[in-house]
Chain A
């Protein structure tokens, strides 16, 4: 099985290049995931760098661009991929080395979304309770593993990563706006106003297309806009 993998070491290479690798077919087992193959490639060439941890689609560390599409290598079956499999780092972020990108611009926008409960009431003696219906509002939002596949496939995020929050951070904005225990609705909506943070989204829906957890940031963004409209009436 053939691979073509993006290589770049800023200390040594003038510019990025693609390296071809080949794994003997008898090493490929049925049901193998791309990450398993990458680990075999790395056994051939220790200098190849990429992130991975859980190997089961939970930690979000092995997001990469696989045959032109962002995804998690650990849950991408080899059998569905056209060869040679072309692997590049997540687009739009600075490359630290090979498939390892600098996620700081992504995390900075996540921080801007204030992804924590804001509630100034005195702590109750028991936990802050939610009805099952209120809890349901968070389904499809809290499951995000921050793999960055969505934001780095969003053209609006490519052009303005420093000003547009991007789908992942906006999904989290809505996650806290939708939380019955959060009291900072006004403040959160105010911070999303203006042409950049929210309104750079043009509903291109690349984010929905790639999310490995099947989440829908575009819908969350729509709900935020809806809430803004309601508030302004």
Chain B
């Protein structure tokens, strides 16, 4: 990773993902309150629609990136032994990656289930 990616880019990523997270949460919350209550089937087909599945995948991605920058910040602040820090960062990255795959799988299943 270049030095730029470690400083400015991480900081910008934190800002941009934060904005997206806020916008997504507010809009979906508004949509849910205006349209709900859902039955399970309605809920599922709503989520599987093109708008919701794309924006939700992006939401998951933004959330995981945001978490990544945040945890990395905490580790850089407090964990000064470099090898230990790298170990924790690698473990975090692994957990986040698996979570992302899991989200994509869940959304794909919902899409298939209603198709």
Q: Which residue of B lies closest to A190 (CB)?
A: B3
Residues of A within 8 A of B76 (CB): 195-196, 200
Q: Determine whether B8 belongs to the interface, using a CB cutoff of 8 Å to chain A.
A: yes
**Are A199 and B77 neighbours in the complex by a CB distance under 8 Å?**
no
When distances are taken between beta carbons in the complex, the residues of chain A under 8 Å from B10 are: 195, 199
**Docked-complex contact B77 and A232, CB < 8 angstroms:** no
- Please determine whether B77 and A228 come into contact, CB atoms closer than 8 angstroms: no
Residues of B near A160 (CB, < 8 A) are 77, 80
Q: B interface, by DSSP: helix, strand, loop or mixed?
A: helix
Chain B residue total in the interface (Cβ 8 A): 13
Q: A202-B73, A229-B12 are in contact. Are A195 and B78 (CB under 8 A)?
A: no
Interface hits, B73-109 → A, CB 8 Å = 73, 76-78, 80
Chain A: number of interface residues, binned into ranges: 10 to 19
Per the bound structure, the CA–CA distance linking A194 and B73 in Å amounts to 12
* Residues from chain B with Cβ under 8 Å of A156 in the complex: 77
Of A199, A200, A228, A229, chain B has the most CB atoms within 10 Å of the CB of A199
B residues near A228, Cβ cutoff 8 Å? 8
Helix, strand, loop or mixed for chain A's interface? loop
**Which residues does A use to contact B, with CB under 8 Å?**
156, 159-160, 192-196, 198-200, 202, 225, 228-229, 232
20 additional contacts (CB under 8 A) given A193-B6, A199-B6, A199-B8: A159-B78, A160-B77, A160-B80, A192-B7, A193-B4, A193-B7, A193-B8, A194-B3, A194-B7, A195-B7, A195-B10, A196-B76, A198-B7, A199-B11, A200-B76, A200-B77, A228-B8, A229-B8, A229-B12, A232-B8
Please name 12 pairs of A and B residues whose Cβ atoms are closer than 8 Å in the assembled complex, sorted by A. Answer: A156-B77, A159-B77, A160-B77, A160-B80, A194-B3, A195-B6, A195-B7, A195-B76, A199-B8, A202-B73, A229-B8, A232-B4
